[in-house]
Chains A and B, each alone.
Chain A
Amino acid sequence: MTAKIIALVDGSIYSESVCHHAAWIAERTQAPVELIHVLGRREAPGKTDLSGAIRLGARTRLMEELAELDAQRAKLVSHRGRAILEDARAIVDRDGVTEITTRLRQGDVVEAIGEIEGDARVIVVGKRGEAADFAKGHLGSNLERIVRAAHRPVFVAARAFKPIDSVLVAYDGGASAMKAVDHISRSPLFAGLAVTVATVGTETPEIRKGLADAQALLKAAGIDAETRIVAGQPETELGKLVDEGGFGMVVMGAYGHSRIRSLVIGSTTTEMVRSCKVPVVLMR
């Protein structure tokens, strides 16, 4: 069995693009697509009872009440969830993918991914979900959680699908960046794409050696990669580089730093995903 492409759809503006990107990956890798919609459990404002009194059979009655409330909500959202999945299936189907499965799950999206990513090759998500405030340009709150929790590459879809023929690899000298290069050299997904490995920052012997290693690794796999070193801050320069070079996709190692550090100084990864207007593949 080939590993599946897991596409997370939530009915937001990004869902269509997620489907197209998943289909594009499926076409190149011949892998089946699994569409997943997770019914989140945001506590609905039920009727508040602050009476603080418990009477005969309090537990049973409370249990019944809560179960009834959940059941009503679940019926509603699962109906909608199925509709979202059907729409998504139609899109992927039109794009020519034959093996499509859909799955509707309850609970937290990160938990759901933990349970199903075992036989996945890549997880496709939108930059932000239905609950995120689009106008602010913020990333969805779930995206970082998903990337941190996932053990597979996460493909963050841009808002609209555009054919991809070139890819920029953001090389920061870290272990996960090298893993990204290694992945590119082996995956059929990147076959035939023009690859550029670039570092944003000051030029040091280590970086130069790393880039050369990356180039050699790709060369061995039959990919002629260019390398570049650009001075400046990764957060801003990378976005510019992508725009100017007309790259169709960015690949990078994700969240190399600890949670605490990213709380203090902010996460480069998050910032870069935000500034790029093309899909980003994040490798852990």
Chain B
Amino acid sequence: MISFDAYRAQWLGNIRGDLLAGLVVALALIPEAIAFSIIAGVDPKVGLYASFSIALITAITGGRPGMISAATAATAVLMVTLVRDHGLQYLLAATVLAGLLQIAMGVLKLGFVMRYVSKSVMTGFVNALAILIFMAQLPELDPRAVTWITYALVAAGLAIIYLFPLLTTAIPSPLVTIVVLTALTVALGLDVRTVGDMGALPDTLPVFLIPDIPLNLETLRIIFPYSVAVAVVGLLESLMTQNIVDDLTDTKSNRNQECVGQGLANTATGFIGGRAGCAMIGQSIINVKSGGRGRLSCFVAGVFLLILVVGLGDLVSIIPMPALVAIMIMVSIGTFSWSSIRNLAVHPQSSSVVMIATVVTVVYTHNLAIGVLVGVLLSGIFFAGKIAQLFSVRSEISADGRVRTYTVEGQLFYGSVEDFMNAFDFKEAAERVVIDVTRAHIWDISSVQALDMAILKFRRDGAEVEVVGMNEATETLVDRLAIHDKPGAMDKLMGH
């Protein structure tokens, strides 16, 4: 726990910067909340309420000041089938359950598992997310559904977003984009889709409600898989964003507290009719870039967003979709790690394979959790492969030709067992065999069993076998698991 003073400093340490950054970020929250509610198959207001409540609650309870959380793309793409098959009420229940799972993970201090997510997997995650966000814009650009005016407006929007900052960086260029494109559409009476066409916008402040679902095992069976996926993906993106913000601001933060904060936010959000969310990489970068460092900026972003959509709902509903598409393309481009493409040529091939596998899996399954799982497993296998190369066996025979000494060096585990066994010459009829493992480490059952097997084979050929130089950890493992030193050894080994 941090002290009261430190917590207060996280709120009030950077008021001006946080206020301004919060306003800028709110503008980038709206498109993602709206666009991905539509993807998930619910009204924009479900995403907007969620963004408001998640931003507010993570600002208070989260572990990383300066990070922005709201209704995200990553969680939205997981909900599509749940909403389609069972409806909104089940989504709200799944959101609550996902929050509770996240709280449990935080309390159980599972934040440490992030250390197994390698740099390559993270890069893959970030790139996959950027691609998901971009792909989600494609329906709005479908030539069968829209006219050339849409393309022109998106292009104009992108031009404003990227060129306006050359003029001044005092006004958020996404805001200029929204204002200019809205004015253009209204003034010229252009026929493009607007936010209002996409479903209901919030017209009141959110109210407390309990999801209208039967409380039975059947319901649990339906929502549980979705809740787990949302909880895991939400925490992955949050903890990854936390890493990024940690690096950018050169400060440390508490992962487990972030898990609990995200969980509380999602739990509460389900009860006010919002969908699950998590931290947002792109918006957090925008926040830091705009000078946001404290908790206040996320809080302000949430409040400002609600004021904007509830108070100016009529105006928001006439914003043309191309404006939001342009902003989301900007977020997608800013999120993507472009240096990773250049690095494909430089980085070790195994890292590149892990990164690409993560991206491909996510784009195929639309589930970031599965992509990360694949990436982590691949990293593990590659790592095992590399460690297995740190293994060698030398052998020498005594002058009289009676004692054969094998010197084992390196890591002995399932990956190096084959090399280990191949190194022995069982056909040689030595009187005594010494296996020196002083500079080796025995890790697992495979390697203990291999050692057993080697010893028993030599014995079978009539040699005296001696194992020397086991270190303490190795010895414990061998004592517990090995059978060569127990009666009836050979029968047991062969019986398996």
List A residues at the B interface (Cβ < 8 Å): 43, 46, 48-60, 62-63, 66-67, 70, 108, 110, 145, 148-149, 259
Q: Report the Cα distance A149→B20, complex, angstroms.
A: 33
Q: A49-B289, A50-B290, A51-B173 are in contact. Are A59 and B162 (CB under 8 A)?
A: no
Binding-face segment, B135-143, B280-288, B449-457: B280-288
Instruction: Tell me if B171 is interfacial: C-beta within 8 Å of chain A.
Output: yes
A58 B172 Cβ-Cβ under 8 A: no
B175, B331, B339: the one contacting A60 at CB < 8 Å is: B339
Please tell me if B170 contacts chain A, counting CB pairs below 8 Å. yes
Contact sample, A vs B, 26 pairs, CB 8 Å cutoff: A43-B13, A43-B14, A46-B291, A48-B170, A49-B169, A50-B20, A50-B171, A51-B173, A52-B174, A52-B290, A53-B172, A53-B174, A53-B286, A54-B289, A55-B333, A57-B338, A62-B285, A63-B247, A66-B250, A70-B250, A108-B6, A110-B6, A145-B5, A148-B5, A149-B3, A259-B4
Closest to A56 in B: B338
Q: Which residue of B lies closest to A47 (CB)?
A: B169
- How many chain-B residues does the 8 Å CB contact rule pick out? 45
Selected contact of B173 from candidates A52, A56, A108, A148, CB within 8 Å: A52
Q: How far is the CA of A170 from the CA of B172 in the complex (A)?
A: 58
Complex interface: chain A residues within 8 A of B173 (CB):
51-53
**In the bound complex, how far is the Cα of B339 from the Cα of A51, in angstroms?**
23
B5 close to A52 (CB less than 8 A): no
Fill in one digit per residue for B154-182: 1 if any A CB lies within 8 Å of its CB, else 0: 00000001101100011111110000000
B175 touches A52 (CB 8 A): yes
A57: nearest residue on chain B (CB-CB)?
Answer: B338
- B164 contact set on A, CB distance < 8 A: 51, 53
Give the distance to chain A from B94, nearest Cβ to Cβ, in Å.
31
Q: Which residues of B contact A67 (CB under 8 A)?
A: 250
Question: B4 contacts which chain A residues (CB < 8 A)?
Answer: 259
Chain B interface (Cβ < 8 Å from any Cβ of A): 3-6, 13-14, 17, 20-21, 24-25, 27-28, 161-162, 164-165, 169-175, 244, 247-250, 282, 285-286, 288-291, 293, 330-331, 333-335, 337-339
4 new A-B contacts at CB < 8 Å, known A52-B24, A53-B161, A59-B337 = A48-B17, A52-B28, A59-B334, A66-B249
On whether the beta carbons of A62 and B288 are closer than 8 Å, the reply is yes
The 9 tightest CB contacts between A and B, nearest first, are: A54-B334, A52-B172, A51-B165, A58-B334, A52-B24, A51-B169, A49-B169, A53-B173, A51-B173
| A57 CA to B342 CA, complexed, in Å | 12
Complex Cα distance A259/B247, Å? 33
Give the CA-CA distance A54 to B133 in the complex, in Å. Answer: 15
Q: Which residues of B contact A60 (CB under 8 A)?
A: 339
- Cβ B337 vs Cβ A48 within 8 A: no
Query: Are the CB atoms of B293 and A43 closer together than 8 Å?
Result: yes
**B-chain residues with CB within 8 Å of residue A59 when the two chains form the complex:** 244, 248, 285, 334, 337
Chain B residue with minimal CB distance to A46?
Answer: B291
Minimum distance in angstroms from A279 CB to a CB of chain B: 24
Question: What residues of chain A lie closer than 8 Å to B175, measured between beta carbons?
Answer: 52
Tell me how far the C-beta of B447 lies from the nearest C-beta in chain A, rounded to whole angstroms.
Answer: 41
Rounded to whole angstroms, the CA-CA distance of A206 and B152 in the bound complex is 85
A145 neighbours in B (Cβ, 8 Å):
3, 5
Complex CA–CA separation, A43 to B338 (angstroms)? 30
Find out whether the CB atom of B169 lies under 8 angstroms from the CB atom of A48.
yes
Q: Which residue of A lies closest to B244 (CB)?
A: A59
Q: A62-B285, A62-B289 are in contact. Are A148 and B334 (CB under 8 A)?
A: no
Separation of A52 and B3 alpha carbons in the complex (Å)? 33
